[in-house]
């Protein structure tokens, strides 16, 4: 990787080669004593006479790279830096540089030739471009902390059925690369969404009336929202690097949502100790206050960079370097140093599509979650009348007591179920019947099941039981091992007659009927019906 000095000199040389500053404003260079020809033009020359009425045979306009930005046909001296063409070697710059580039983009989009060639017939760029509307120039690449700007409306459009406007340049970040879109205001209009279409145009979705085409407006970014997005996105880069270094778990995809951020890894398991180690490594880098640089490297510089992953595009590749910790291609908004991230926290690990998904938070969002969890722990400490450190012990003690109470209740329920089953079987056998019909007052489903289990434990008896609970009647039919009674068919007919629902297998069936029914009568009528 080249040193900072060599990189800076390369960048300056390339910028000088592509500089949109008029030649008249540049320092003079020694003349090469080559005579100027009529085909050449300069800002110091007077405009030529108008073209004849009959235009010469048209020739295809030369285009600029893959962005198809036409050159100035009369002088053919330099490509016009249009609103859809970004320099190939750009870095986070000062506000003065940003203002200079903004002025150049404004001149290009308005149709004036930024080379000051002096040719009055230099056609407006917007009319010569093959796109109906030029692509918006993204100011957020130059300065992620640019929260206000002035832009001109160049077109009205619609995105996903919602009205939108297109600007000559913008500081609003559109939703892309897993990062949510900015919000804010454009003049008096509220910007509720920002989206990027397939042609690379940035749509500012407006709530209400759209500003007129040609209007120059003040754009204001929702600063707290942008700062949250910057912290989450920078934290994701750092956590992906740490997980790759500590656990050899490469990031497959990431999503920075409104309430949760996730990283999907290419591993099937991830030890919680490894996750904690990666989290500690990230926060150590946060404490180091390492600088973060976003720039557009040259092809030679790009080949020398230790990228964590390969770029998804082939030109105008933007790289984000977090100190000497991580270098990744990315077009999103990021902090300018790691201390601005504040804090990164892994909130959970889960299995997702056979791999591991990591849920994390950073910055303000992480601090807010920690504060809420601290409030919960303090509330538990008050309930247990113990200190914060003793809450886990209090929970464990409560769990043991609950388990003991559950076991005691099971023993009592078993004795009650045995007594009820014995009484019902005795009465049924006294009548010479094999179907034990009974209603258990204030019984839970567990108790009804326990009674039926004791009745049908042996022999060919059939248990047809009901119990009132939760505003309805729970019913159960079960048969002994020596019986061929079809419990599912019986309960289905009984539920249909009583206006309830139920069914199951021939050996066992359950259902729920309306409250207040006469279960013995319904059971008797169903047993007496043909086709039982």
Write the CATH number for 423: 3.10.310.40
Q: Residues 517, 453: one domain?
A: yes
Q: Residues 360, 419: one domain?
A: no
Say if residues 60 and 265 touch (Cβ distance below 8 Å): no
Q: Tell me, what's the pLDDT at 133?
A: 58
Q: Tell me, what's the pLDDT at 29?
A: 42
Q: Residues 160, 246: one domain?
A: no
In-domain check, residue 113: no
What whole-number distance in Å separates Cα of residue 258 and Cα of residue 222? 14
Residue 121 tokens read as: 């017939």
Say if residues 194 and 205 touch (Cβ distance below 8 Å): yes
Q: Tell me, what's the pLDDT at 532?
A: 52
Tokens 């008249």, residue located? 24
Q: Residues 308, 208: one domain?
A: no
Which element (helix H / strand E) includes 256? strand 251-256
Q: Residues 154, 253: one domain?
A: no
Q: Residues 282, 182: one domain?
A: no
Output the tens digit of pLDDT for each of the chain's 532 residues: 444 444 433 333 333 333 343 444 444 444 444 444 333 433 344 444 454 444 444 444 433 333 333 334 333 333 333 333 333 334 444 444 444 444 444 444 444 444 333 333 333 333 333 444 567 889 999 999 999 999 999 999 999 999 999 999 999 999 988 899 999 999 999 999 999 998 889 999 999 889 999 999 999 999 999 999 999 999 999 999 999 999 999 999 999 998 899 999 999 999 999 999 999 999 999 999 999 999 999 999 999 999 999 998 888 899 999 999 999 999 999 999 999 999 999 999 999 999 999 999 999 999 999 999 999 999 999 999 999 999 999 999 999 999 999 999 989 989 999 999 999 999 999 999 999 999 998 888 889 999 999 999 988 999 999 988 777 899 999 999 999 999 999 999 999 989 899 889 999 999 999 988 899 999 999 998 865 5
What is the SS3 assignment for 204? strand
Residue 521 tokens read as: 């009568």
In-domain check, residue 500: yes
Q: Tell me, what's the pLDDT at 530?
A: 64
Say if residues 211 and 278 touch (Cβ distance below 8 Å): no
Say if residues 283 and 379 touch (Cβ distance below 8 Å): no
What whole-number distance in Å separates Cα of residue 396 and Cα of residue 386? 13
pTM here? 0.61
Residue 478 tokens read as: 């079960």
In-domain check, residue 10: no
Q: Residues 156, 254: one domain?
A: no
Total length of the chain: 532
Q: Which residues form the domain of 445?
A: 407-528
Can you point out the beta strands (E) in 110-188?
A: 137-138, 148-159, 162-167, 169-170, 184-186
What whole-number distance in Å separates Cα of residue 254 and Cα of residue 265? 9
Q: Residues 300, 358: one domain?
A: yes
Q: How many domains, the chain?
A: 3
Last residue of a domain, one of 221, 249, 267: 221
In-domain check, residue 443: yes
* Cβ count within 10 A of residue 430: 8
The candidate with the shortest Cα–Cα distance to 333, out of 472, 262, 235, is: 235
In-domain check, residue 172: yes
Label residues 126-151 b or e (16+ Cβ within 10 Å = b): bebbebebbbbbbbbbbbbbbbebeb
Strand pairing category for 462-469 and 435-440: parallel
Q: Residues 245, 368: one domain?
A: yes
Residue 457 tokens read as: 């434990």
Going from the C-alpha of 186 to that of each of 37, 67, 141, 208, 377, the distances in angstroms are: 48, 27, 19, 11, 44
The candidate with the shortest Cα–Cα distance to 155, out of 188, 120, 114, 197, is: 197
Last residue of a domain, one of 187, 221, 255: 221
Q: Residues 325, 447: one domain?
A: no
Last residue of a domain, one of 221, 242, 258: 221
CATH of the domain at 215: 2.40.30.130
DSSP 71: B
Q: Residues 318, 448: one domain?
A: no
């Amino acid at each position: 990787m080249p040193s900072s000095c060599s990189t800076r000199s390369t960048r300056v040389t390339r910028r000088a080669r592509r500089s949109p500053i008029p030649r008249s404003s540049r320092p003079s260079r020694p003349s090469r004593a080559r005579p100027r020809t009529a085909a050449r033009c300069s800002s110091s020359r007077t405009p030529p006479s108008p073209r004849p009425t009959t235009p010469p045979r048209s020739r295809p306009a030369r285009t600029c790279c893959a962005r198809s930005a036409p050159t100035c046909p009369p002088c053919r001296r330099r490509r016009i830096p249009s609103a859809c063409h970004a320099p190939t070697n750009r870095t986070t710059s000062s506000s003065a540089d940003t203002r200079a580039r903004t002025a150049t983009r404004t001149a290009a989009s308005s149709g004036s030739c930024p080379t000051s060639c002096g040719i009055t017939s230099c056609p407006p760029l917007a009319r010569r471009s093959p796109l109906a509307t030029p692509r918006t120039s993204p100011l957020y690449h130059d300065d992620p902390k640019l929260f206000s700007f002035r832009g001109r409306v160049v077109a009205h459009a619609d995105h996903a059925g919602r009205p939108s406007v297109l600007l000559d340049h913008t500081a609003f970040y559109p939703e892309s690369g897993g990062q949510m879109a900015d919000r804010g205001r454009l003049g008096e209009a509220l910007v509720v969404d920002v989206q990027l279409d397939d042609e690379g145009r940035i749509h500012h979705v407006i709530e209400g009336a759209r500003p007129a085409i040609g209007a120059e407006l003040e754009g204001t970014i929702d600063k707290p929202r942008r700062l949250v997005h910057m912290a989450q996105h920078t934290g994701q880069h750092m956590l992906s690097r740490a997980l790759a270094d500590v656990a050899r778990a490469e990031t497959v995809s990431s999503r920075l949502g409104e309430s949760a951020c996730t990283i999907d890894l290419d591993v099937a398991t991830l030890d919680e100790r490894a996750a904690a180690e990666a989290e500690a490594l990230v926060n150590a880098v946060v404490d180091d206050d390492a600088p973060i640089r976003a720039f557009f490297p040259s092809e030679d510089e790009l080949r020398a960079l230790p990228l964590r992953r390969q770029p998804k595009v082939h030109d105008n590749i933007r790289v984000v370097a977090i100190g000497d910790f991580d270098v990744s291609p990315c077009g999103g908004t990021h902090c300018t140093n790691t201390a601005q991230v504040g804090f990164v926290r892994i909130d959970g690990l889960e299995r997702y599509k056979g791999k591991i998904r990591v849920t994390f938070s950073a910055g303000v969002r992480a601090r807010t979650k920690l504060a809420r969890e601290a409030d919960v722990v303090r509330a538990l400490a008050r309930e247990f009348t113990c200190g914060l450190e003793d809450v886990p012990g209090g929970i464990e003690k409560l769990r043991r007591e609950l388990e003991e109470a559950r076991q005691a209740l099971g023993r009592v329920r078993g004795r009650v179920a045995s007594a009820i089953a014995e009484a019902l079987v005795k009465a049924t056998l006294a009548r010479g019947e094999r179907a034990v019909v009974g209603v258990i007052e204030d019984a839970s489903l567990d108790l009804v099941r326990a009674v039926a289990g004791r009745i049908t434990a042996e022999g060919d008896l059939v248990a047809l039981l009901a119990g009132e609970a939760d505003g309805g009647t729970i019913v159960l039919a079960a048969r002994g091992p020596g019986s061929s009674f079809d419990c599912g068919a019986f309960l289905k007919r009984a539920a249909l007659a009583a206006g309830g629902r139920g069914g199951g297998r021939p050996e066992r069936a359950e259902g729920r009927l309306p409250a207040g029914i006469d279960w013995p009568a319904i059971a008797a009528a169903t047993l007496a019906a043909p086709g039982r």
